[in-house]
Structure 1
Amino acid sequence: MMTRALLCLVAATTLALQAGAARAQSAAESWPNRAITWVVPFGAGGVTDLVSRKIAELLRTRLGQPVVVENRPGAGGTIGTEFVARAQPDGYTVLYASGGPMTIQPNLGLTKLNYDPLKSYVHVRGVSSSNQVLVATAAAPYSTLAEFVAYAKANPGKVNFGSPGPGTAQHLAGEMLQAAAGIKLTHVPYKSGSSQMTDMMSGILDVSFDYLTVLRPLIDTGKVKVLGTTGAARLAALPDAPTVLEAGYPDAVNAGSTWVSVPAGTDPRIVSRLSEAMAAVLADPGIVADLTANGQVSIADKGPAEMEPFIVEETARNKRVIESAGIGAQ
């Protein structure tokens, strides 16, 4: 038989658990009732930051609480990404997630990551997918993707391409095209995209892969010329630019993606409400227009159930490229 003291302890524990559950339910039902921190794992003013700020502002209107953008750049986006993994799972710290730290960095083996892309988060809603654009110097002796591949085959190793660093999405795009087209390019890594583009304009670099938002000013002023894009379908913002798929290189199709995540353990009711709010925000005509103008395609149809298999597939694809090209700790 249980002693009186033990019975009292069991009763007290039960009451404490019930009280805790009631508080958790109340917190979930009243969410949000204070400011939300919107973490961007890259610096202010970049592509990811600019788009995410517009989304955050509309989310503020939708949820009726401030959504405060906090930039936490560094280590290829892993610092800000890790910060959210370690935050309280209460719905008040949200990550504007990116494929780089989630699906590329885990395959590089450069440093030990203190987060797991699948176990450390609940992935709430997809935002966008961005194909990259292949551009050449204005004076390059090729003006189409087919001409470029022919030239590279005739001059193996003599054509260089730039990226913001080893293992970046831009680097992987170059490696994928090399493998798919059977060409050999020389990779030139940079510490920043700005110095990369400076060398593009001066003719030090032959070609580069990057996102349309970065390249648009150079394209519009004729400082670089577009050879093609890495998509399966043409970009609405560059309707005359052929895709690698059209050129016959389906294995070179790739895109960088963004989505919204919260720490693992966040109450499903909070996840559901945030997911619904994000779906409504991403349907806003202004956001749709911004994404299209920046060469991005909405993936807002991917909710919590669709995001995990999407990330698994992206991670596996990037792993194949990284292992095939021998990219890693270098």
Structure 2
Amino acid sequence: MKLLTTAFAAIAAIITAGAALADDYPNRPITWVVPFSPGGITDSGARTVAKVLGERLGQPVVIENKPGAGGIVGAEYVANAKPDGYTFLYASNGAVVTYPFLYKKLTFDPKTAFIPVHGMSSSPMLVVVRADAPYKTFDEMVAYAKKNPEKINYFTVGQGSAQHLLGELIQKEAGIKLTQIPYKGSAPALTDLLAGTIDMMLDYQSVMAPHIEAGKLRALGVSSDKRLAGMPEVKTLAEQGYPGAVFTAWSTIVLPAGTPQPIVDKLADAFAKTFADPEMIKYFADRGSNMMPGLAKEKLAAFFEDERVKTKAIIERAGIQPE
């Protein structure tokens, strides 16, 4: 009986300590690790959200860019960070779902290294080339690629990234061979696309729209199952005869494993309120992104599991082999 009483007392002490931590959290600036280079859509989106989130929490949320290996460098950093709520990760498809299927050796297991906090947004990708490219439509690009195998090169942020998976699906669906060129983020890739160093980008409306509107780039298709509201003239790849090339990239927030639950709850609640802010709703809508309201904690964990099943099927269909 005495042992049981002691055990209950210990549990109560842990719960009380966790609650006390949450009451005092945050009492200093928080670091939001973005695993891609500055200047891209990920970075600019995080900075916009960080401003509103910081106001909600009463402390600055500081963006720290840690690019490299398609997001693995930043994910490793957060996986090994102190689990106190002061470091969290901008986690996209690759870091929390895809990479275990593509790399035989990772220094972290996404299933155990992170605690799901809240979903951010999901977005399809545009297939974009320069306006002076020798192909004016997606079918013309496919015809060119068939005559010139591997000559068309395209941007990704690394093996297993959203761009890479969509690129593999396009190659499989169209029966063509492209060449993947990895970058640390979309900003340097866009510079190279405009300069003619690379031939094609698979990226988001918010990144590409200004250059398409300026007549510098041309959109050949979009990877969604329906046309974008902001660019209704751009046909989906599915309606152009490539139904297997439907793919949506997404972004979420995760904390290091071991973070006290009261802190997880408080941060998830702050993100929920941030994403309900009219300024945030407009920001994402203007960029062709769909928000993920209510997708937090246990529901986000279930979403990850569903995505793992879907991603494994995509990788197998595309014939990608783990490295």
Normalised by the length of structure 2, the TM-score is 0.85
Q: State the AA in 1 paired with 2:37.
A: G
Q: State the AA in 2 paired with 1:58.
A: V
Q: What's 1:306 paired with?
A: 299
Q: 2:63 aligns with which of 69, 94, 107?
A: 69
Q: State the AA in 2 paired with 1:209.
A: L
Hey, which bits of structure 1, 4+ residues long, moved more than 6 A?
Answer: 9-17
Shift of 1:52: 0.7
Partners of 2:252 and 2:5 in 1: CA distance: 44
Q: State the AA in 1 paired with 2:128.
A: V
Would the alpha carbon gap of residues 207 and 93 (structure 1) be closer, same or farther in structure 2, given more than 3 Å must change?
A: closer
Per-residue CA distance 1:185-235 (angstroms, 9 max, x = gap) = 322424454564455445565433222333234312212211111112222
Q: What's 1:4 paired with?
A: none
Shift of 1:148: 4.1
SS across alignment from 2:111 = coil
Task: Check if 1:52 corresponds to 2:39.
Answer: no
Q: What's 2:119 paired with?
A: 126
**Native 8 Å contact 2:18 2:261 kept in 1:** no
Shift of 1:14: 7.8
Partners of 2:242 and 2:301 in 1: CA distance: 27
Q: What's 1:264 paired with?
A: 257
**Native 8 Å contact 2:145 2:152 kept in 1:** no
Q: What's 1:279 paired with?
A: 272
Larger Rg: 1
SS across alignment from 1:128 = strand
Task: Check if 1:81 corresponds to 2:75.
Answer: yes
How many residue pairs get matched?
A: 320
Task: Check if 1:216 corresponds to 2:218.
Answer: no
Q: Which runs of 5+ in 1 are unaligned?
A: 1-6
SS across alignment from 1:262 = strand
Q: State the AA in 2 paired with 1:67.
A: V
SS across alignment from 2:51 = helix
Q: Which runs of 5+ in 2 are unaligned?
A: none
Would the alpha carbon gap of residues 38 and 234 (structure 1) be closer, same or farther in structure 2, given more than 3 Å must change?
A: same
Partners of 1:116 and 1:252 in 2: CA distance: 28
Would the alpha carbon gap of residues 68 and 151 (structure 1) be closer, same or farther in structure 2, given more than 3 Å must change?
A: closer
Q: What's 1:322 paired with?
A: 315
Q: Work out the percentage of aligned pairs sharing the same amino acid.
A: 39
Q: What's 1:93 paired with?
A: 87
**Native 8 Å contact 1:236 1:292 kept in 2:** no
**Native 8 Å contact 1:84 1:263 kept in 2:** yes
Matches within 5 A, 1:85-234: 85-109=79-103, 112-149=105-142, 152=145, 155=147, 157=149, 160-164=152-156, 165-181=158-174, 183-191=175-183, 193=186, 196-197=189-190, 200-201=193-194, 205-234=198-227
